[in-house]
Structure 1
């Protein structure tokens, strides 16, 4: 499964980086930076529940999971 970040909607609050620190880091302005360098970072299956929570709680609705069940 991959995490899609809608850069036009993201306002850099950083909640996703707190919920998925294994997948996302934060740039100096608070915007998420995929740790694997991919445009849509891979989400390890063990972190699926955390990724779903990050998508659900994103205040700007900028996250989506692709390839989810």
Structure 2
């Protein structure tokens, strides 16, 4: 898979979605949620914007529940 830098993405939706996806891979949902919100507000198809809204909701929920944060209480 070709590595794309967020700063080199051809459109803002792609840049925000890529950053959000990478944050999710790291289980950094607190960072991913606002990036998905920015992607949803960017010029893109209705389907992509709806996907971004749903991912933002998921990430907000995951951050609130502290998913992916192992041994944080220790």
When normalised by structure 2's length, the TM-score is 0.35
- Relative to its length, the structure with more helix (as a share) is 2
Relative contact order (C-alpha < 8 Å, sep 6+): which is higher?
Answer: 1
When normalised by structure 1's length, the TM-score is 0.36
Question: Is the radius of gyration larger for structure 1 or structure 2?
Answer: 2
